Amino acid sequence: MMTQPTLHVDIPITLKQANAVFNMDHLAFAGDTPVGIHYMHLLAERYVKDGTKGKIIGIFHGDAAYMALNDKAYNAYRHVNTGNPYKGTIAELLKQGVQMEECAVSMKAHHWVNDDLLPGVKVNAGAVARLIELVQQGYVQIQP
């Protein structure tokens, strides 16, 4: 009988404190799943599992700004009638304590208003300045 090879972790990682900001400025998918949204979810679960203290923030802007739209605005922008397929995952992330933000500059460029966003999504004055601010506060920027 052959034994299966095993995985040995040489460098275990348990974060006691970690603040991370996801720069959601471009489209990156694994199948139909946005990579950044998926990794936010995995990291939030890891924080709970490991007892990590800290905050996770997702900032939507640029090409990925539409992902935080409500069904009506999403349908109009994407020329579909399916509604926002990411709304359930974003709602779950909000329940997990992940802060979701939309860039006001991107919103102005598309003529979107606060009522066009999913419930719980906050609007920042500008994604680039917000990223700089958070990095200066010690957040690690994740670029999925």
Q: How far is the C-alpha of 90 from the C-alpha of 2, rounded, in Å?
A: 44
Q: How confident is the model at residue 30 (pLDDT cuts 50, 70, 90)?
A: confident
- Is-contact 100 122, C-beta < 8 A? yes
Residue 2: the pLDDT is 78
- Is-contact 55 86, C-beta < 8 A? no
105-144 pLDDT, tens per residue?
Answer: 999 999 999 999 999 999 999 999 999 999 999 999 999 9
Q: How confident is the model at residue 4 (pLDDT cuts 50, 70, 90)?
A: confident
Residue holding tokens 């006691």?
16
Residue 103 pairs in a beta bridge with 124
The backbone torsions φ and ψ at residue 124, rounded to the nearest 5 degrees and listed phi first, read -100, 165
49-71 pLDDT, tens per residue?
Answer: 999 999 999 999 999 999 999 99
Burial of 124 (0-12, 13-18, 19+ CB in 10 A): buried
Q: How confident is the model at residue 33 (pLDDT cuts 50, 70, 90)?
A: confident
Residue holding tokens 């709970």?
48
Q: Is residue 3 scored above 90 in pLDDT? A: no
